[in-house]
Structure 1
Amino acid sequence: MTILVTGATGQLGGLAVRHLLDRVPAGDLAVSVRDAGKAADLAARGVAVRRGDFADPASLDFAGVDTLLLVSADGPDDLRIAMHANAIDAAERAGVRRVVYTSVVAADTSPLALARVHVATERRIRASGRAFTILRNGLYHENYTAGLPGALDRGALVTATGEGRVASVARDDLALAAAIVATGDGHDGRTYELTGDRAWSFDELAEAAAEVAGKPLPHKSVSGGELRAGLLAAGLPEFVADLLADIDAGIRADALSTVRPDLADLIGRAPAPVEQAVRAAL
């Protein structure tokens, strides 16, 4: 069995590779990365490093792969859809048996704009004739805890989430679930909704950060337009500002607050709480 991980030098992909190496010999593992030099440490451990770019279909080499762990790419929506399709086409050509894909929670019913990418990719996977497992990942704790030091410096945590709640997840728990599915049996045809075991509000996040830091941190909720303008002023690309503002709107509407048991069932324990990520960030 050969398992190939795309995006293996990224954050989620890199963690998935680490967990896979706890479960299979390095010789049974391959990675596809745009810059092979960044995976030199994996090559030194015996992992097969293949240079591949989703935007360059001819570069994608999935020969001899049994299970493809397809970590979703970054970028504008239409580009992501096209790149994912390129990867799935390459999997078909190579005769890959199974595709495990990192989607987004409740993709088929979500009001989030980013769900369009994942719905299109899920449909393309199902149409490919490959066995598949869909991992619908919740939002990462780290999306929100990484900005806490800056928020403390500025004196406020600014979002457009209002009183909405989100059942976020530690990135490492999602990577562990991906490794378990990629190496295990009984997951073909399954779609897992992977969330934390409780939903929290940004008032609660600010309170947790204040407790760890020993200084006040109020949560200031602004309009989506104000948030977007601030993100653009900070130099973020327009598509990223739009994405983040849309996610905050979804949280405000409680579209990301549903708690599901799938992640705990897969990893065999309660998911790591957001407070753990707060402590790590501060």
Structure 2
Amino acid sequence: MRIAVTGAAGSLGRRVVQLLADRADVDVVAMTRRKLPAEAVPPQVEVAVADYADPPALRAALKGVDTLVFVSSDGPDARVLLHHRNVVAAVAAERVGHVAALSSVDADMASPFCYAVVNRLTEDLLLASGVPCSFARASLYIEFFQAWLTEARATGQLRLPAADGRISLVAREDVARALAALAVGEPTGRHHDITGAESVDLAGIASIAAEVWETPVAYVDIPADTYCAETAATGLDPWWLYAFSSMFASVREQRWDRVRNDYTQLTSRSPIALRDVLSAYG
């Protein structure tokens, strides 16, 4: 089986490539926007340079591919959606037999979160293409959320506009394993919610961090406009300020308060706990 992986230079895509490369029955193509150094991928992995914005390169990289692990592009939502349209068109043109696509637990046109809309539109594009699909709808990554926790470790306060929203934080490793499992299986034609083992509000998340790090960390719920003002003052790019703000709006609507056992069904593993990731971080 020949499996290609987009976004292979990123943390998630790179780990999917490693997991698939360990299998004797899989030939792996690592699709990246730019050429990688030889040591960046296992020696048996083929590297194909194919930017999401380059339809001919995408088609060339997908020739002879049986399955594509479709890891999302990044950046402003309109650009991401254009990139995803290009990938779907290339997949359909090259008659790829199966797409195991990354999506999100909040994949909903009604969501305030910009990427929730993109993820739902991408799912719809793939389904309309007629290509057999499987979707890994991931919750928010522990490693992504850890940036705020690290800051809170230093200040003692986790200042975010999440109200009483609950999140089933998931380890990136678990998302990678779920995508790899979907890629080597038959298309399921449906989505699989890849979540942590528990859903916790931010006060609970702060409490876990405080216990693991033996450092006072308290959640402080702040208004959305206060968050925007404080974050803008740090010099964060306006796009990411909007993206994070819209994400916390979706958290306040309890759109990430979901715990499912799909990950265990796919991998026969239990999800990695938040406290274990934080313990490893030191």
- For the criterion TM > 0.5, the same-fold answer is yes
Contact 1:4 1:65 in 2 (8 A): yes
Provide the secondary structure at the position in 1 that maps to 2:9: coil
Contact 1:156 1:218 in 2 (8 A): yes
The residue correspondences of 1:255-274 to structure 2 (distance < 5 A) are 255-274=255-274
- Cα shift at 1:153: 1.5
In structure 1, C-alpha distance between the alignment counterparts of 2:257 and 2:106, rounded to whole Å:
11
Q: Which residue does 2:33 correspond to in 1?
A: 34
Q: Which residue does 2:142 correspond to in 1?
A: 141
In structure 2, C-alpha distance between the alignment counterparts of 1:259 and 1:110, rounded to whole Å:
21
- Cα shift at 1:179: 0.5
The residue correspondences of 1:125-204 to structure 2 (distance < 5 A) are 125-185=126-186, 187-204=187-204
In structure 1, C-alpha distance between the alignment counterparts of 2:253 and 2:30, rounded to whole Å:
38
Q: Which residue does 1:123 correspond to in 2?
A: 124
Distance 1:237 1:194, change over 3 A: same
Distance 1:198 1:44, change over 3 A: closer
- Cα shift at 1:219: 1.3
Contact 2:109 2:120 in 1 (8 A): no
Provide the secondary structure at the position in 2 that maps to 1:219: strand
Instruction: String of CA shifts for 1:55-110, please: whole Å, max 9, x gaps.
Output: 12222121110101110110111111110010111112222111111011141376
Give unpaired runs (5+ residues) of structure 1.
Answer: none
Which amino acid is the alignment partner of residue 48 of structure 2? R
Provide the secondary structure at the position in 2 that maps to 1:7: coil
The residue correspondences of 1:242-281 to structure 2 (distance < 5 A) are 242-281=242-281
Contact 1:142 1:171 in 2 (8 A): yes
In structure 2, C-alpha distance between the alignment counterparts of 1:24 and 1:163, rounded to whole Å:
47
Instruction: String of CA shifts for 1:207-264, please: whole Å, max 9, x gaps.
Output: 2222222221121111111112222222222121111112112222222112122112
Give unpaired runs (5+ residues) of structure 2.
Answer: none
Distance 1:73 1:136, change over 3 A: same
Moved over 3 A (4+): none
- Cα shift at 1:122: 0.9
Provide the secondary structure at the position in 2 that maps to 1:30: strand
Which amino acid is the alignment partner of residue 47 of structure 2? V
Please, what is the CA RMSD of the aligned residues?
A: 1.7
Which amino acid is the alignment partner of residue 217 of structure 1? V
Moved more, 207-216 or 59-68: 207-216
Which amino acid is the alignment partner of residue 162 of structure 1? A
In structure 1, C-alpha distance between the alignment counterparts of 2:230 and 2:83, rounded to whole Å:
30
Q: Which residue does 1:10 correspond to in 2?
A: 10
Provide the secondary structure at the position in 2 that maps to 1:37: coil
Q: TM-score, normalised by structure 2?
A: 0.93
Percent of aligned pairs sharing the same letter: 33
Q: Which residue does 2:207 correspond to in 1?
A: 207
Q: Which residue does 1:69 correspond to in 2?
A: 69
Moved more, 104-113 or 156-165: 104-113
Contact 2:175 2:194 in 1 (8 A): yes
Which amino acid is the alignment partner of residue 65 of structure 1? V
In structure 2, C-alpha distance between the alignment counterparts of 1:21 and 1:44, rounded to whole Å:
7
In structure 2, C-alpha distance between the alignment counterparts of 1:174 and 1:147, rounded to whole Å:
20
- Cα shift at 1:273: 1.2
- Cα shift at 1:46: 1.6
Q: Which residue does 1:55 correspond to in 2?
A: 53
Moved more, 65-74 or 137-146: 137-146
Q: TM-score, normalised by structure 1?
A: 0.93
Contact 2:21 2:44 in 1 (8 A): no
